[in-house]
Structure 1
Amino acid sequence: MANANPLAAVAGKFGDLKQRLWFLLLALIVYRIGTYIPIPGIDPAQLAKLFSDNQNGLAGLFNMFSGGAVQRASVFVLGISPYITASILMQLAAEMLPSLKELKKDGEAGRRKVTQYTRYATLVLALFWAFFMARSQMALRLPNVSPAEFVLTTMVSLVAGSMFLMWLGEQITERGLGNGISVLITAGIVSGLPGAISHVLTLAASDSRWILGSILLLVFALLVVAAVVFVERGQRKLIVNYQRRQVGNKVMQAQSSHMPLKVNMSGVMPAIFGSTLLLIPTTITGFAGNSENPVMLALKDISSMMQVGSPLHMVLFAAAIIFFSYFYTALTFNPKDMADNLKKSGAVLPGVRPGEQTGRYIEAVVLRLTLTGALYMVAVCLIPDFLSSALNTQILFGGTSILIVVVVSMDFMAQVQAQMMSQQYESLLKKANFKGAN
């Protein structure tokens, strides 16, 4: 009777994984449909002109992260940028405010409370950005739409779109696969890939010199992808010796193992955080329009020097990546807790005393790994900008885009494999229990 319905057994073997994959697919379809829903009252001709004039600044970054929503004046124009900024602010506040720091230590209840505060901050930032964006884009409204009506409908549309994406990202994290926010950003970037390939092929067809350039760009992209995969899989393995000990009536023999530490523990978040924060001056000056306020004029001069590809932008971007690499690693990895856990389990590192010295040793190793990972991320993100400046042409997919897509894809595949292994393990346990019962 156990083999009476083998098809049903095969279908149910990876049932949870299939459900997660279907949910992820449907969520991405909803996301892509939303990028084609326009804000009411926008003049398409004026929008196209504005985007062509500002695609190398904030508009270009938002358009890349939102999958073309900016170029189409979609309700998803703000994307998940307010949520990313709110997350940065909450993480910084949690390190500076004792009340939030204690709240993070309260386990699941504290985590839910911090998440709730992050949502409130996202709403406030979305309202702020939506208001100034609506006021600054008054020239884009259709002639038959009043200013008050345009501002109100634009604010409601943008805030609703941003909050919906925040909710959708959380649902993907909980019911799908991977980090929902990173998955949405990756989907937006990948959606522009066909257009980028078409643009390169058009250039190659119109100018024979671009044929060699296209081949070189392809080779460069493959080398960057290979480098990202190599570094992201790189680990520093610390040897751990477990001493002979007795637990109850059972004697545990001495054995050796290793503790893997990733070269890049922070993932792609430093690049995303850095990209978002560096464009805040451009955001403010874009919202201000043609204001003659001295402060706004000074901000305009600063933002003009901080355009993507400029030397100042490269230096600040590199500094932001290095800072957030250390900051994010400090949030997610605690050497002291790791040393305490090793001491409690009777494990020691060769040549290092248990306890405080082990914690300091692990911290020193993590700091060196973080510096290596940060420098690798800087190289991946900035080399395309150097090439773009040297060749005097725009590289449609920069290093940040490639880094995000490759790292999120690797994380997605790792979670799929983990789900498959979990399902196989559960099926083996069920078979063992069934045989034992018989």
Structure 2
Amino acid sequence: MKKLFTTLSNIWKIEDLRVRILNTLLFLLIYRIGSFVVLPGVNPVALENQEREGLLGLLNMFAGGSFSRASIFALGVMPYISASIVVQLLGIAVPYFQKMQKEGESGRKKLNQITRYLTVAITFLQATAYARTQIPAEARIMAEPLFSISSMVILTAGTLFVMWLGEKITDKGIGNGISLIIMVGIIAQLPGGLVAEFQARMGGNGGIIAIVAELIALFFVVVFTILIVQGVRRIPVQYAKKIVGNKQYGGVRQYIPLKVNAAGVMPIIFAQAIMFIPLSIVQFFPNAQGSFLTALSNYTSWQYNLLFAFLIIAFTFFYTAITVNPVQMSDDMKKNGGFIPGVKPGETTGNYIDDVISKITLPGAVFLAIIAILPAIASLLGVNSNFAHFYGGTSLLILVGVVLDTLQQIESHLLMRHYDGLMKTGRLRGRTPVTTGAGAAGPAI
């Protein structure tokens, strides 16, 4: 406890870190206040008893409840996430985007601008669909088409404002702004889900013993998720000695930390984006609705979870292949005079790294799929759907990843100013930069 108070005191003493933390809290407070501002022309009383289940409930969680409240931030940052994924995929397939990725800072600015324009287009489409399908007629107090037009414009402006808040948090605050906004939205749903589960259990469905068992299970699931997020396979690298004047350089052993889950949460996001297709077909084309499409629209069905797990495993290998480049790592290592003991430099080293990545990616992908389907398993075991989302899936991975990343940034500020880190022994492990090439660090959300 004394160590904790000492660390908090050290954080407060560093002016730059203190200002960044206060800025982050201020921007997040603005976001949470805006999430309760209802769209003009909507009667909020008519939306109070509206429940969001399944995939729509998951969207509502990411938006911090704004989706079900018909808030000006109802779409949250999901259109921006979708646009970012599209631009990343274009960077793989289209030479023009590949060229921009290699142009350094200027290319990054161009890609960011394209992402913003694409965000506007996606938000317009999603805002139109949201106004027409998710706000019932009895909740509207404004005539058409004025309601749809105003809602589309305001929802688009709300998403762009949230995106701006995220960028300001990244620049002026601490941590990744977009990730923190999503995390705050998820955490905001935890008290309500916990209260609903407590009331259900105490109402005769298991009692206090069931509540304690669920909390213990949640604790172990969180620990398991942290192990997956933090797990690395270290490959030793030896550097040749260089003597310049009276000084010796190199001759030390370092490590390449290859993450067990190098793809992070991106495979689940990719897979979930595809799993939204059956739901969209069912909503927009009721005549095409069948038993198979209905099953794929229900996140607790075995058909949905089997396909979901398969897509996650496939996307894990795909995303790892495009983010971790063994050939580049081998070339960088060779240029810097480094080699893996017992492995020939050059192509042999690249093949060795690729073989190690393949071996650790398979269990990482399987464990990621297990984490992703845990909420469905919890729901089938009788856990309230609002509380079951915290047993795994994208929500838990985002919470764990964002919290660890933010703590690492705070610890970096402390260590840079010669203070002790957040942990009493050792340093926080996680997104450790690769010493001999890019690609081992997991992507942030």
Q: Secondary structure at the match of 2:237?
A: strand
Q: How has the CA–CA distance of structure 1 residues 305 and 324 changed in structure 2, closer, same or farther, with 3 Å as cutoff?
A: closer
What pairs with 1:199-348 in structure 2 (closer than 5 Å)?
199-207=196-204, 209-247=206-244, 250-252=247-249, 254-283=251-280, 285-286=282-283, 288=284, 297-298=288-289, 302-348=293-339
Give, in whole Å, the separation in 1 of the partners of 2:232 and 2:141: 61
Q: TM-score, normalised by structure 1?
A: 0.86
Q: How has the CA–CA distance of structure 1 residues 138 and 174 changed in structure 2, closer, same or farther, with 3 Å as cutoff?
A: closer
The answer to whether the Cα contact below 8 Å between 1:104 and 1:110 also exists between their aligned partners in 2 is yes
Are 1:169 and 2:166 counterparts? yes
Q: Secondary structure at the match of 2:67?
A: coil
The Cα shift of 1:333 comes to 2.5
Match of 1:409 among 403, 410, 420: 403
The Cα shift of 1:421 comes to 1.6
Are 1:352 and 2:343 counterparts? yes
Q: How has the CA–CA distance of structure 1 residues 407 and 66 changed in structure 2, closer, same or farther, with 3 Å as cutoff?
A: same
The answer to whether the Cα contact below 8 Å between 1:84 and 1:273 also exists between their aligned partners in 2 is no
Larger radius of gyration: 1
Give, in whole Å, the separation in 1 of the partners of 2:40 and 2:25: 28
The answer to whether the Cα contact below 8 Å between 2:231 and 2:260 also exists between their aligned partners in 1 is yes
Give, in whole Å, the separation in 1 of the partners of 2:122 and 2:205: 48
Give, in whole Å, the separation in 1 of the partners of 2:379 and 2:134: 30
The answer to whether the Cα contact below 8 Å between 2:295 and 2:304 also exists between their aligned partners in 1 is no
The Cα shift of 1:277 comes to 3.4
Give, in whole Å, the separation in 1 of the partners of 2:244 and 2:412: 31
What pairs with 1:167-206 in structure 2 (closer than 5 Å)?
167-206=164-203
Aligned pair count reads 408
Are 1:24 and 2:24 counterparts? yes
Q: Secondary structure at the match of 1:106?
A: coil
Q: How has the CA–CA distance of structure 1 residues 174 and 319 changed in structure 2, closer, same or farther, with 3 Å as cutoff?
A: farther
The Cα shift of 1:99 comes to 0.8
Q: How has the CA–CA distance of structure 1 residues 153 and 183 changed in structure 2, closer, same or farther, with 3 Å as cutoff?
A: same
Report the counterpart of residue 428 of structure 1 in structure 2: none
Q: How has the CA–CA distance of structure 1 residues 48 and 299 changed in structure 2, closer, same or farther, with 3 Å as cutoff?
A: farther
Match of 2:390 among 381, 393, 397: 397
The Cα shift of 1:367 comes to 2.4
- The letter of the residue matching 1:320 is L
Alignment deviations for residues 363-421 of structure 1 (CA, whole Å, 9 cap, x no partner): 22122222222211111121231232244863253412222212211111111101222
List runs of 5+ in structure 1 lacking aligned partners.
1-9, 426-438
Q: How has the CA–CA distance of structure 1 residues 101 and 150 changed in structure 2, closer, same or farther, with 3 Å as cutoff?
A: same
The Cα shift of 1:123 comes to 0.5
The Cα shift of 1:320 comes to 2.8
The Cα shift of 1:137 comes to 4.7
* RMSD (Å) for aligned C-alpha atoms: 2.5
Are 1:375 and 2:371 counterparts? no
Larger fraction in helix: 1
Higher mean C-alpha deviation, range 73-82 or range 224-233: 224-233
Report the counterpart of residue 429 of structure 1 in structure 2: none
The answer to whether the Cα contact below 8 Å between 1:36 and 1:72 also exists between their aligned partners in 2 is yes
- The letter of the residue matching 2:117 is Y
Q: How has the CA–CA distance of structure 1 residues 340 and 283 changed in structure 2, closer, same or farther, with 3 Å as cutoff?
A: same
Report the counterpart of residue 97 of structure 1 in structure 2: 94
The answer to whether the Cα contact below 8 Å between 2:196 and 2:384 also exists between their aligned partners in 1 is no
What pairs with 1:130-149 in structure 2 (closer than 5 Å)?
130-137=127-134, 139-140=136-137, 144-149=141-146
Q: Secondary structure at the match of 1:370?
A: helix
Q: Secondary structure at the match of 1:77?
A: coil
- The letter of the residue matching 1:302 is L
List runs of 5+ in structure 2 lacking aligned partners.
1-9, 420-445
The Cα shift of 1:269 comes to 2.7
